[in-house]
Amino acid sequence: MSDRIHITTAIFYCNGAPHVGSAYEALAADVFARAMRRRHGADRVSFLSGTDEHGDKIRRAALAESLAPKAYTDKMSALFRDVFAGLNTTFDYWVRTTDPGHEKFVQEMLTRTNQRGDIYFRDYEGLYCVDCERFYTEKELLPGNVCPAHNRPVELISEGNYFLRIDKYREEVREKIRSDELCIRPERYKNEALNMLAEPLADLCISRPKTRLDWGIEIPFDTRYVTYVWYDAFWAYVSAPAARLGLDEFMAGAWPHTEHFIGKDILKTHAVYWPPILLAAGLPLPRHLNVHGWLNFGGSRMSKSSGNVRDPLYYETTFGPDVLRYFVMREVVYGLDGDFSEERLIERYNADLANDLGNLTSRVLAMVQRYLGGVISSAPAQENLAAAEDKHLYQNFRGISGDFSQPDALQTTVVDLVGKLEFKTALELLWNLLDVANKYVAATAPFTLAKDPANLPRVASILANLVEALRVIADMLEPFMPVTSGKILALLNVDAATARQPFGAGIKSGHKVNPPVALFPRIEKPKSA
């Protein structure tokens, strides 16, 4: 039995509502989690997300709404959780950094690290960006000491603070990244991280004086200070599962096989700060940093600060379940920036979902009702077929390139592609199978054959093959389109055990299917005047 796998999104900063960009990260991680559950078993996979609720930006956002910070974060965390639930993400843990258990855990890690000698106090003067909630060096800033992320001048702050020794661990972290012990994917981000670690690092300021900011977790060994929000938020990846399983068990089992899904804008914090934070506490590093690009809208990055955000649930309620999931997974190469537009989404909807998937499902089920009374009266295709069309269908659905030695070759291939973050390629493979099935309908023409009652045995054989093809496609779509997958399997009247069978081993003669329903009604574009 394999070790457990722990999958996380970044902990979402809740100073504004979730948008399509943040949903993209959650959806990619959810597809990955669903695929890994298929491979390793649901009990071997945990999936975690949550909200990052401390810091000055949260305090300012709360003040803008005339709310106390905790009341504000209660509202915002519930909003994030509801949106992700509406998108059918399957989190096992939802962590809030204001949870008492999380706060206690952070204080334990601070105490542990302090006792190991890697925290020290000193006076400091630095250039601070309130929006980033971090200090910058002059060489990191734009001319005029402007923050490169927010295009606003930083502030000069002088104060005493606690620091974590991170340069002490720089070479160790660099070697772990170079050797892929901490594997950063795609490769371009590994190279970026190595460049960040190529020169000595300034130690990390991990506190804020309460005289300037009191909205945070109190430093356990100095009550005049609260913890820096980034030091606090990282531990959300660990605090809840460690509480459930015990820290030692979690670290020995799941943690070395952790898959962090993060945006490229927080690569530095996860590749430069997070590993030394763990090592300074005497803990191992995770397995993968899976780094995605940005979703652009109207030519610029989709973000709360830019104001060009879109509500992800709008697409769920307007276009139907799974449409947003399908679009971002099919349209964007993971790791690269992607362009998001409603016009392009509608094009994908009509071409891929309404025409290819929805139309095939409706046509096949309608023909089974019309010609066979809703009952499959033939077994699906098997090996060594006489009809060339049947053999071609079988080869595509049963094996990759005609390899029948492993009956689950197709499922293995799809899960392998997801495991390598090749979501777009996996969906292209499934849509190639849809194309094979649609061409099989055209080549065999059951609607023409059925005009002669003598051809009904052949019609029954063709429709059995098509129902079986739909079953396999619906099953393989589950990580990407869970609601749609469930709807198609329900129309096919297939249970979970039958759904996972390889082509030819699922539907049996005598199986009754349900009448068709429209899965994806076409969206007609408004006619120009």
d(CA 192, CA 190): 5
Q: Are 8 and 385 in contact (CB under 8 A)?
A: no
444-473 in b/e form (b: 16+ CB < 10 A) is bebeebbeeeeebebbbbbbbbbbbbbbbb
User: Where do the structural domains in the chain lie, given as residue ranges?
Assistant: 5-319, 342-499
Q: What is the pLDDT of residues 456-481, one digit of tens each?
A: 999 999 999 999 999 999 999 999 99
Q: What is the pLDDT of residue 125?
A: 83
| Separation between Cα atoms, residue 60 and residue 323, nearest integer Å | 35
Token pair for 346: 């509608």
As a whole-number percent, the residues of the chain with pLDDT over 70 amount to 95
* Helix axes of 100-115 and 236-245: crossing angle, nearest 10 degrees: 100
pLDDT of residue 157: 86
Mean pLDDT of 396-406: 63
- For residue 418, give Cα distances in angstroms to 226, 286, 340, 423: 40, 19, 22, 5
What per-residue confidence (pLDDT) applies to 300?
57
d(CA 476, CA 401): 18
DSSP 43: G
Query: Which position has the token pair 């956002």?
Result: 61
| Partners of residue 9 on adjacent β-strands | 261
Average pLDDT, stretch 514-525? 93
Structure tokens at 263: 């945006």
476-503 burial code (b ≥16 CB/10 A, e <16):
bbbbbbbbbbbbbbebbebeeebbbbbb
Three-state DSSP at 503 gives coil
Cβ neighbors of 228 (< 8 A, separation 6 or more) are 133, 204, 205, 206, 207, 208, 216
Q: Say which amino acid occupies 357.
A: L
pLDDT tops 70 at residue 210: yes
Once rounded to an integer, what is the mean pLDDT over residues 402-415?
A: 74
Terminal alpha carbon distance of the chain: 64
Judged against a pLDDT cut of 70, whether residue 389 lies above it is answered with yes
Rounded CA gap, 84 and 445, in Å?
Answer: 43
The whole-angstrom separation of Cα 314 and Cα 76 is 18
* Preceding peptide of 186 cis, ω within 30°: yes
Q: Which two tokens stand for residue 498?
A: 């039958």
pLDDT score, position 129: 86
DSSP structure class, residue 453? G
| Residue pair 108/239 in contact by the 8 Å Cβ criterion | no
pLDDT of residue 126: 83
Packing angle of the helix pair 323-331, 312-319 (nearest 10 deg): 120
* pLDDT > 90 in the chain, percent: 79
Name the pLDDT band for 136 (thresholds 50, 70, 90): confident
Average pLDDT, the chain: 92
Arithmetic mean of pLDDT, 72-86: 96
Q: Reduced to 3 states, what is the DSSP secondary structure of residue 523?
A: coil
Quote the Cα angle for 425-431-434, to 5°. Answer: 155
- Weakest-pLDDT range from 83-97, 338-352, 398-412, 456-470: 398-412
**Residue 529 binned pLDDT confidence (cut-offs 50, 70, 90):** very low
- The pLDDT of residue 1: 37
Class (C level, CATH) for 342-499: mainly alpha
What is the reported pTM?
A: 0.92
Whole-Å CA distances, 356 to 56, 115, 341, 399, 487: 49, 62, 21, 22, 16
CA pair distance 270, 264, nearest whole angstrom: 10
* Closest among 1, 20, 17, 38 to 324, alpha carbons compared: 20
The predicted pLDDT at position 304 comes to 52
Residue range 448-456: average pLDDT? 96
* For the ranges 1-15, 140-154, 234-248, the one whose mean pLDDT is highest: 234-248
130/454: higher pLDDT: 454
Architecture of domain 5-319: 3-Layer(aba) Sandwich (3.40)
**CA 440/CA 23 separation, integer angstroms:** 37
Q: Using the 8-state DSSP alphabet, how is residue 380 labeled?
A: P
Q: Are strands 155-164 and 119-129 parallel, antiparallel or unpaired?
A: antiparallel
* Element holding 426 (H helix, E strand): helix 423-444
- How is residue 456 written in tokens? 């009904």
Say what the pLDDT of residue 490 is.
Answer: 98
